[in-house]
Amino acid sequence: MVRILYVIENLFFGGGERAFAQIINGLDKKRYEIYVVCLLQGEFAEKIKNSATILSFNLRDRFSLVKIYQLAKMIKEKDIQIVHSQGGRADFFARIAAKIAKVPVVISTVAMPPEGYNVGLLKKGIYVLLDRFSERFVDRFIVVSEALKERLIKKHKIPSEKIVKICNGVEVEEYESRDEDAFKIREEFNISSNVPIVGFIGRLVWQKGLIYFVQAMKKIVSEMLPNREIKFLIVGEGPLRKKLEILVKKLDIRDVVIFAGFRRDVKEVLSSLEILVLPSIREGQPIILLEAMAMGKPIVATNIEGINETVINEVTGILVSPKNPRTLAEAIVYLLEDKKRATEMGRMGKKIVNEKFNIKNKINQYEQLYEAIIAEKLNKSILLIQLAGLGDMVMATPAIEAIRNLHPQGKIYLLTNLRSKEVIRGSPYLDGIFIFEKFKNFFPLIRELRKYHFDMVINLYRLYSFKGALKMLFLFLLIGGKYWIGRDTDGKGFFYHLKVPEKVSDKKHEIEYKLDIIRAIGGKIDQINLKVEYDKDDEEFVNAFLKKKNIIEDDILIGINCSTFRPSRNWIIRNYAKLADSLIQRLKVKVAFLGVAKDKKLIAKIKKSMMEKPLDFIGVFNVRQLIVFLKHCQLLISPDSGIVHIASALKIPMVVLFGPGEYYRYRPWDNEEKTIVIKKDVDCSPCFKKTCFSKKCMKLITPEEVFEAATKLLKRNV
């Protein structure tokens, strides 16, 4: 269980408190044990009482070192792992107390920085100083808008990688405009069904710009629509109410304005509205906008940060300049007059909220953040799992390097198979390698792995099938470990603590998918370089072998690989033969066939079909010696196989014959100047068959076009 303490300054149940309540109520209770400290008791505590343990901690209007110490003591006693705060004093108290208690993770949600507070200059200055001082103890800042993120970067000098944007969300399925709800509100306030209601819902404070809304009401009923009956509903309480009531009386519009006070039936009120108006001067990301959009209501609001990232002007509503009663009035009148346009805006708003602001997405983002930052803080022992082919191991090397950079003092181990081990053995980024050989060493291996009590176990590879996911779950259960991390391939990674999103339909490279895992746990990717390992003995062996074969430095040496793990990816025998003959006869080069011992029969057939005599290096080199040999080649020609990714790491010119595989996922990486890929689009591609009788995609590749590509690369690079 991950123990989280939320610290919030609860003066009222506003947008920030509602957002926190959504998180607390939505988190997986099997995974998270939640505690909450409210600096001032109120309705917030009532909203979350069934989801969290509420700790008694009353604080009045002044800062107290004693209270900070008491909070730190409470954090230690509960063994809290994450402290998450929001609000001026709450942030300061939580950050300092967490530092004293040595909490691994500290998070602050920033709705409005202290410089935006509506307080006296002296008090504001104190808030700013305390905020700046305590910011250094924060691991992540959460914001709801890009504008706020930019402000923290530019004015607070907070590194961008420490700031996470998570938009507010709503329980979409709970918001449906119902006629019976609208009728209930109209009946309560004695408003007939043919009279449109234009409303505001929120706290009655200066930031909401309500003075300008009231002034806009006057313009609507006196100048723009003097003969039309309209009602304006102001829902909420706050220090500005009395001033608003005086203004309404002064403007002589009391008969069209209703002050409804604080209401719990927000959904019912929204059902009754024709238009929701939000004339704010300052905002974060108002949840009421999302709620109104979820109910299909058009919006009239001010074009300020926080709002303009939620409401799309002329699509889901109309945005106007702040502090401008006339433009506000004109926008309201426009939507009242053009019902068809208003309805369409409401429909689009509902669609966008469904797609972008569903509360389920928000909760998932928070869980991902919590898991990622805990994983980032762990600096003890990490097990990486990469159980796939040779090429996949090469493609995993940037991720392995990145996790070492993230945890320079950690102990990092790799679990892989025998055929992939050699390409990574000796890596400076690993402290050890474990070999998985299916049933041969399974139980001794598991016993050994369990001794390490890994803090993190990370599967770098995708989950191809549900059956494969269950096998991986079984392996994770046997290995143990505190935190499980992996790629949630189309929802199959249900058992990971940190699920890194992956859709098979996304056209991303496999390297990027692996790096997404590192990014998810806080890693920074500055550059992506594939790496392969070899040593002095390998160099000496290859140099001696080439000397024995009379291959000198001036020779143009072309390697042709005819070995693939999946036979469906291999080329046609006669095409290999024709190509090799053309290269030897026309370019006067030396051609060496490469492969493993099991390919000897294949190469014998190719040589039998040839007129010239190629070099037969089938089964001569192990993986590390092959790496050294490729460095002596001026060109490699190969179907889609692991050797392609080795050549990418070495930046060797190559012609790749790409057949049935997923090109966008497994294409050669970042070697465009030196690589030509020949690929034929056929109706059955991509496919994952190990064998294929038709080999349509490979048969369409001709020796002539491969020769032409080889000639082009040799001219360019030799």
Most confident of 7-11, 394-398, 406-410: 394-398
Q: How many helices (H) and strands (E) does the chain have?
A: 27, 25
Assigned token pair, 304: 């300020």
What are the DSSP calls for 296-339, one per residue? Answer: T--EEEE--TTTTTTSPBTTTEEEE-TT-HHHHHHHHHHHHH-H
CA quadruple 73, 75, 81, 82: dihedral sign: negative
pLDDT of residue 91: 85
- Read off the pTM: 0.63
pLDDT of residue 106: 82
Instruction: State the Cα–Cα distance between residues 13 and 315, nearest whole angstrom.
Output: 30
Three-state secondary structure string covering 61-109:
CCCCHHHHHHHHHHHHHCCCCEEEEECHHHHHHHHHHHHHHCCCEEEEE
Most confident of 173-177, 258-262, 665-669, 685-689: 258-262
Residue 511's φ and ψ, nearest 5 degrees, are -60, -40
Residues 77/37, Cβ–Cβ less than 8 Å? no
Instruction: State the Cα–Cα distance between residues 263 and 13, nearest whole angstrom.
Output: 11
Residue 381's φ and ψ, nearest 5 degrees, are -130, 135
Assigned token pair, 334: 């426009």
DSSP letter at 668? Answer: P
Q: What is the mean pLDDT of residues 574-581?
A: 94
DSSP letter at 145? Answer: S
pLDDT of 538 > 50? The answer is yes
Mean pLDDT, the chain, rounded, equals 90
Top pLDDT among 520 and 261 is at 261
User: Measuring CA to CA, which residue among 432, 429, 401, 428 is closest to residue 414?
Assistant: 432
pLDDT of residue 399: 96
Query: Could you tell me what percent of the chain has a pLDDT over 90?
Result: 61
Q: Which residues contact 32 (CB under 8 A, 6 or more apart)?
A: 1, 2, 3, 4, 367, 370
Residues 137/105, Cβ–Cβ less than 8 Å? no
* pLDDT tens digits, 246-264: 999 999 999 999 999 999 8
Domains of the chain in start order, with CATH, are 2-165 (3.40.50.2000), 173-356 (3.40.50.2000), 380-521 (3.40.50.2000), 541-716 (3.40.50.2000)
Largest CA distance in the chain: 105
pLDDT of residue 681: 82
